[in-house]
Structures are given as C-alpha cells and as structure tokens.
Amino acid sequence: MHIFTHIQPQTCANSDKWTQAMASMNQAARIDRRSRAVELPPDPSLDDLLRTLELSPETAEIRLNGERMVLVDNASLGILRREVILALGHERARAVMSRLGYSLGAADAEMGLRLRKDEGVFAGFAVGPQLHALRGAVKVEPIVFEADLETGHFYSEYFWHNSAECQAHKSEMGIGPEPGGWQQVGYASGYASAFLGRPVIFREVECVAMGHERCFLIGKPADQWEDPEKEARWFRAENYTSRPNVGPHGAEPADDLRIGHRSIVGASSGFNIALHLVDKVAPTNAPVLFLGESGVGKEVFARELHKRSRRSGQIMLSVNCAAIPDTLIESELFGVEKGAFTGATASRAGRFERAKGGTLFLDEIGTLSLSAQGKLLRVLQEGEFERIGGLKTLTADVRIVAATNADLRSEIAEGRFRADLFHRLSTFPIRVPPLRERPADIPLLVNYFLRLMTARHGRRVTGFQEEALRFFRMHDWPGNIRELENTIERGVIMANDGEAIGLSHLMMAGGRISSPDDASLDDPLLALIVNQLHRPKNDGLAEQILDRGLGCDAMLADMIEAALRRSKGNVSAAARTLKMSRSQLVYWLKTNKPAPLAAADPRGGPTED
C-alpha cells in the first residue's frame, strides 16, 4: 500500500460572505486531514511526457501522446462557459462540462497505466496531473496520496494552483458559493476511476471561484462518500438524475451495486448519448430498434427503455428470434388453438397475447425468415392477429422493441430482410456503441461485476492486481460487456479468498491472456500476436517465427514496417491493420524510430492520415 502525506495549513477565505456555505460543504465532504508525517516522494520527471509532445507549425498541428491539441486562450474558454450556462442553464452546463472531463480523464488513464508501469503507483498516477500542467490547465500539488490497487483503497488530497478553468469561471461568473472546476473534477474522477478500476469521485471543497486563495479537492471511492450522487449525477445523461416510480415488473433490486440508483452502468459519452435517446423515446409508443455488436448490452438498454415508459407497470417479454425454429416462430408469437395441428393438445397464448399492455422485445430480429417477417409485418401494420387455428381476432396491445447485431440495410440489399419491415421497426433506431469505444465505462463495469460475482459465488476477493487493471484498460474486448463479465467471473472463481485477481486468474483452459507487464508482451499488438499463435490453425506460423530466430521486438518491428508499407506510410491506416490504436503506434514509432520507415514518405517519415 502506498501512503504519502504532506500536511499544509488550509487557506480560508477572507470574506465572511461564504463562511456558512463553506462550512456546510466542508462538513459534507468530511475533510479528513491526515496527521501522519510521511513525506511525499519527489514528482516524477516530465521527460517521458515531453517526448510525446510535437509542435509542427508547417502542418498546423500540435500533438501530445499522438493526440492532436489546439492552443486556446483562456478568456475564450470563459466566454464559452458563460454562453453554455446561458443556453442550457447552470445544472445542464455543469453536467456537460463534467462529462467531458470524465471521458478525457478515463482516456488519459491508459497512458498512466502504460507509461510508468515499473515506477510505482504514485508515479503512474501522476501522469494525469502532469498532463494537466503540460496543457496549461492547472498546477496540481499532492497533499495526501494513499493507494492500494489490490484492495481498491484510495484516498487523496490535492491543492490546485493557478487553475485556468476556475479562474475563467471567476472572471465570467464572479465569486459564488459553488466551485468552478467542473471539467477538472470530472477529469480527476474519470482518470482515477479508470486507473484504479473502481468508481472514484473527487470533490472540490475550496475554489478560487468561491473566494479561496487556491483550490482544494478530495478524492476517494464513490461508495465511501455519504452522498456520491452529488457528483455522480454530473457524469450521466441529464434526465437520469432521478428515477420514476416503477411497477412490480420493473422494480429495482434491493441491493443496488451501482453509483446512484440505476440498473444500467456507464458514464462515457457514447453511453450517455444512447441513454439520452432512450429517455426521449421512452414516454411514447413508437417502436425502437437497438443496433450494436453482440454483447454490448442491447437488452439491458431495452429493459431501461421499458422502465422509463408508461408501460413500466406491465410485463416485458423477451424473444430470442435466433433460438426459435422457423416452424415454431408463428405459434410462439401468436399462440395456438387446441387441435390446430398435430401435437397441439391444448390452447396456448403467444407472446403478443401474454405481453398485452406491456413491451415485447424481439432480440436478433435479423435472423427471422422472410415468411416470419411477413407475418410480423402484418401485426405491426394492422395491430391485430389470430392464434394458429383460431377464428377470433385479437388486438396487439404491445410496444415492439427490437435488436440486432446485423447490418439490416445490407441484409435488405441481399434479399434476406424485408425493407417494409425494416422501416416499420426503425422508427427510432438507437446505436449502442461497443465497449472499445466506451473506455470511461470500463472501471464502472469492472467494479460492478466484481461485486456482483463475489456476492453470487460467496467469495471474498479483495480487488485486482495492477497488471489485471492494465489489461482491462488496454484490451479491445471483441466480445464487449459479455466478455468482460465472463472474464471477471472467471477471475473471482479462480482467485483465493483474501487475494487480488491477477492475470493468471483470468486464463481459460487452452487459452492465454497476455500480461502487459511481461517484457515479451509489453505492447497490446504483441499480446494479440501471441494469442493468435496459441490457436491451432497458426501452429505452423509459430514454428516459422522460431526458425527465423526472431525475437519479439524484431517481430513487432517487421509487422509495423509491413503495415506502413501497405498503407504507403499512412499511420492511421497502419494502426487499423495492426488492430492498434493510433496513439499506440505513434508512441512506438517515437520511442523506436526504425530506420527503414524514413522512406515511407517523401517528407522523411510516415504520414499522419
């Protein structure tokens, strides 16, 4: 466990105007100045971060860690904040800025986990504050830093000096009773959550925008705050700050493991956009089509839609269209009368009838046969149906919600899906982004599944080792949330009580999960290569590589050079070919500078796009 403490006196405001408000905030935050005189280690060198900084006036580009930056004067940011507040109101403006910061912080945590993996937790965590200083945002001074990745313990106190955001807020809005570091608090919360693999909330309890000489904030896990909803609500879509009353079929579980009080976990921009669309369409009766890869949680979003609808007091039924044979789909959906066909020994209601007044969720709608599609289309058009062998016409009083991981427009072009049915279903399409596009959601999901699985299996796992947290952040998750859930469940089962989950606990029989800490598997690309080599179809390739005497570094260099040659020096295209992120490839090129790459572009190096 890493505990570093440096005590400094707290600065109080000169004016008595905000004394009561500040006292109330400090009491709510439970400011807990540590009394242990443990000296903080020196700040890590900025050299590794400065090496990723590029200034190219010729191409009008500034890049930090491969990401493009733009210099903006702070006065314009203050004006922008004022205009956003005037346009959206104080609450919604703060939510927008906080969510923006949260997503940026979660993205930067990958760099902290990777760049200083051998220098200790304090040095790795310091990447975030130092990036803020490099960007001219704020000078961060650590006062208390306690972190134990394996148990999830975290407590920190920081001073912010010369905060650009807080000064801009003060300049445009004046001194007030609330802090102004909205985006910075969101950044700190997102960064710490992704770095530690559990929801962390920072709270700014003193601010120059409140009349203080400098800003002061406290960070600790969300479940250790008495009222985490105070900040957690800013990281979610605006209309999800309170829950409506739900009926017996939509009731929340008694043991809510999430931040706040929702049945759906996430904080990324893509996640919040999808939830915002759910909230907009939920009160209507319009059909909704959820689109997205397998395992992204389309059914979870569909259930949230039902809970938000006027039908929440009624039942929601789910039908996996891919699991029902074509010969039975009609009877499953519409029901059957006794004697309608051989084997129909009793009358039976179908899903449309059983879901009356509620919601019918049709999962994997793209797998329906053309015949079944025609019968479903008729019900959607007419709002009526009959049981097989029945004479009575029944009313289809249900809301249709469908989901698919297929490209239905391509299916239409290939003649496998009816265009008229597609247009009926896609009145309101909602895309659920894959997990690789939602890095800010990973720490929340990891924490949620850890608590869920330890409760389910009666285990007392303490948390995750650093290498496991790095893997969670850097893995592409082709199986999305389902893969993440199964991986954590496997780790909970494999780890002993009182032990933290490591990469060894995440392995499956006959497979391998590569360690980011292994020198031979330091890059995610190498992890991918080694995993491929363990598949039977690539056994011959493994022998060829060994026969050539290639080490991992040489093999990686060869693959990167080949990808750049194929893309004619286009870095982004090469990164896609290698299944790497662009920033990972740029970082490799900067730190290795392979000589053969100099000829990839007439200007002397690979092209950027």
> For residue range 44-87, what is the model confidence (pLDDT) as tens digits?
888 888 888 888 888 888 888 778 888 888 888 889 889 999 99
DSSP state letter for 239: G
Nearest to 468 by CA among 452, 488, 448: 488
Give the pLDDT confidence score for residue 407 in this predicted structure. 92
Give the pLDDT confidence score for residue 204 in this predicted structure. 94
Q: What is the mean pLDDT of the chain?
A: 78
Judge whether 39 and 141 are in contact, CB under 8 Å: no
Block residue for tokens 């957690």: 232
Question: At residue 186, what are phi and psi to the nearest 5 degrees?
Answer: -60, -40
Kindly calculate the radius of gyration of the chain based on its CA atoms and give it in whole angstroms: 27
Checking if the pLDDT of 481 tops 80, the result is yes
Highest-scoring range by mean pLDDT, 99-108, 378-387, 403-412, 548-557: 403-412
Task: Give per-residue pLDDT as tens, 274-308.
Answer: 988 998 999 999 999 999 999 999 999 999 999 99
Give the pLDDT confidence score for residue 558 in this predicted structure. 81
Mean pLDDT of 229-239: 65
Question: What does pTM read for this prediction?
Answer: 0.65
Question: At residue 215, what are phi and psi to the nearest 5 degrees?
Answer: -95, 150
Residue 174 CB neighbour total at 10 angstroms: 8
Mean pLDDT of 95-106: 88
> What CATH architecture is 433-508?
Orthogonal Bundle (1.10)
Mode of pairing for the β-strands spanning 428-431 and 288-291: parallel
Checking if the pLDDT of 405 tops 90, the result is yes
Q: Which residue has the higher pLDDT, 514 or 171?
A: 171
Checking if the pLDDT of 427 tops 60, the result is yes
| Range with the poorest average pLDDT among 22-31, 111-120, 188-197, 494-503 | 22-31
pLDDT-based confidence at 331, cuts 50/70/90?
Answer: confident
| Range with the poorest average pLDDT among 219-233, 239-253, 357-371 | 239-253
Token pair of 309 as six digits: 């609808």
Give the pLDDT confidence score for residue 62 in this predicted structure. 87
Checking if the pLDDT of 602 tops 60, the result is no
Q: Residues of the chain with pLDDT > 90: what percent?
A: 27
Task: Give per-residue pLDDT as tens, 357-373.
Answer: 999 999 999 998 898 89
Checking if the pLDDT of 210 tops 90, the result is yes
Task: Give per-residue pLDDT as tens, 543-552.
Answer: 666 666 666 7
Rounded distance, CA 423 to CA 429, Å? Answer: 10
Checking if the pLDDT of 313 tops 50, the result is yes
Task: Give per-residue pLDDT as tens, 440-455.
Answer: 888 888 888 998 899 9
Helices within 89-210 (DSSP H only)? 90-115, 121-125, 127-134, 164-173, 182-196
Q: In CATH, which superfamily holds the domain spanning 2-238?
A: Trafficking protein particle complex subunit 3 (3.30.1380.20)
Checking if the pLDDT of 600 tops 80, the result is no
Give the pLDDT confidence score for residue 387 in this predicted structure. 80
Classify 269-432 by CATH class.
alpha beta
Token pair of 486 as six digits: 């199964």
Give the pLDDT confidence score for residue 284 in this predicted structure. 94
Mode of pairing for the β-strands spanning 399-404 and 288-291: parallel
Residue 214 CB neighbour total at 10 angstroms: 17
Mean pLDDT of 224-243: 64
Task: Give per-residue pLDDT as tens, 537-589.
Answer: 445 666 666 666 666 777 778 888 888 888 888 887 888 788 776 767 777 78
| Range with the poorest average pLDDT among 121-130, 190-199, 546-555 | 546-555
Mean pLDDT of 154-178: 92
Q: Which residue has the higher pLDDT, 563 or 605?
A: 563
Mean pLDDT of 493-500: 88
One DSSP character per residue, 275-323 reads: HHHHHHHTTS---EEEE--TTS-HHHHHHHHHHHSTTTTS-EEEEEGGG
Give the start-to-end residue ranges of the domains of the chain.
2-238, 269-432, 433-508, 518-609
Mean pLDDT of 491-507: 86
pLDDT-based confidence at 516, cuts 50/70/90?
Answer: very low
**Three-state secondary-structure class, residue 601:** coil
Q: Number of C-alpha atoms within 13 angstroms, CB side, residue 300?
A: 16
Rounded distance, CA 567 to CA 457, Å? Answer: 49
Give the pLDDT confidence score for residue 606 in this predicted structure. 56
Q: Which residue has the higher pLDDT, 241 or 120?
A: 120
Mean pLDDT of 383-388: 81
Give the pLDDT confidence score for residue 236 in this predicted structure. 63
Mode of pairing for the β-strands spanning 53-56 and 61-64: antiparallel
Give the pLDDT confidence score for residue 344 in this predicted structure. 67
Give the pLDDT confidence score for residue 409 in this predicted structure. 93
Token pair of 148 as six digits: 């134990």
Rounded distance, CA 592 to CA 556, Å? Answer: 11
Residues 6+ apart with CB under 8 A from 111: 65, 127, 131
Mean pLDDT of 466-478: 83
Task: Give per-residue pLDDT as tens, 250-278.
Answer: 333 333 333 333 457 777 888 888 988 99
